[in-house]
Structure 1
Amino acid sequence: MGSGAHRRATVAVKESLRELRNQLSLLNHQVSAHLALKDVDLDCLELIGRHGPLSPSALARRAGLHPATMTGILDRLQKGGWVVRERDPEAADRRSVAVRAVRGRNAELFRLYAGMNTAMDELCAGYTEEELELIAGFLHRATSAGNTATGDLATG
């Protein structure tokens, strides 16, 4: 493939990623609206579910948010019954807290994402295992590139 064709294909991939980001943002906005949460609350709930239990400061770092902002988010999530704050028995400082997701609430989230989940299963059924590994590898590397760019902006 010539450099012009490669450049055009690269531009098409980047445009598609932007469109996907916009669409996923709209989907997440609808999910958070159904749950009476702010979009940032849903983002933090996902981080807690995937990486938790986490200290509020570790969660703030992962989310790229100020610790005071995180306090308000955790207050809303706790009030809604989505998370619990527990004393962290592992920590040297006995006052330190770990935040964990309340497992029983996952069914509500799964139900709201069920349409997208089913669509993705059907989409993936049309690809070979090798193709899916290639796509997953590309998305992982794109996520890593985004993580690096975000860190550069945060410290720059």
Structure 2
Amino acid sequence: MSTPDEENVEHERLERARARVSEAGRHQSNAAVMFHTALGDRLGIGVTDWKILGLLEENGPLTAGELVRLCGLAPASVTGVADRLERRGYVRRRKDERDGRRVLVELGPDLPGDVQRLFAGFLRRLDGLLERYDARELEAFADLLEEVARIQTESAAELTEEGEQGAGARR
């Protein structure tokens, strides 16, 4: 059984660790935004447009409504992004073969083939970092990152929903 002093030390250690994770998360988030902004700049598009391309790469063809749900943007914003990307040939719209009423957005033919090359340096460094950890630690990191992504996605959807409700009330 631990003593009150030991419990206090452990509590303080836990609080410091939580604060460190929170601060590291903010730093990582900022670094990710800057990295993806630089990638978008290389393609001549904004970071939001770049992230929509990432969602299409990850999920395959999606409806505008599905993109809204996944990215947390307002429907009009998603339409604007799709319009810009379609003009560049980075995405195309097509009717859903199973339901002709639905329109899907999918990656287009003009997306530069060297996109993967733009990631090469980052992925090489990331692989080097991950080699420092064992499977148990990596599984814990993956669990944490998956939950953070889920929480951020839910929070973005809530902000979008609140914004749409607020916009309706202001009209």
TM normalised by structure 2 equals: 0.81
TM-superposed CA distance for 1:113, in Å, is 1.4
Select which of 112, 118, 125 maps to 1:119: 125
Greater alpha carbon shift after TM alignment, 11-20 vs 74-83: 74-83
| 1:63 alignment partner AA | C
| 2:119 alignment partner AA | Y
Q: Residues 17-67 of structure 1: CA distance to partner in whole angstroms, max 9, x if unpaired?
A: 100000011100100001000111001111111112111122122222222
Using the alignment, how far apart are the partners of 1:106 and 1:6 within structure 2?
46
- Secondary structure of the 2:56 match is helix
Q: Residues 40-99 of structure 1: CA distance to partner in whole angstroms, max 9, x if unpaired?
A: 1001111111112111122122222222222221111112221111111111xx242111
- Secondary structure of the 1:86 match is strand
Using the alignment, how far apart are the partners of 1:31 and 1:19 within structure 2?
18
Correspondence 1:75 to 2:98:
no
- Secondary structure of the 2:45 match is coil
Using the alignment, how far apart are the partners of 1:139 and 1:131 within structure 2?
12
- Secondary structure of the 2:105 match is strand
Q: Return the index of the structure with the highest Cα Rg.
A: 2
User: Please, which runs of 5 or more residues in structure 1 have no aligned partner?
Assistant: none
Select which of 18, 21, 36 maps to 1:13: 21
Higher relative contact order at CA 8 Å, sep ≥6: structure 1 or structure 2?
2
Select which of 10, 33, 41 maps to 2:41: 33
Q: Report the equivalent of 1:24.
A: 32
Correspondence 1:110 to 2:113:
no
Select which of 125, 136, 139 maps to 2:145: 139
Select which of 41, 51, 55 maps to 2:63: 55
TM normalised by structure 1 equals: 0.88
> Residue 37 and residue 123 in structure 1: after superposition, are their counterparts in 2 closer, same or farther (change >3 A)?
same
- Secondary structure of the 1:137 match is helix
Q: Report the equivalent of 2:6.
A: none
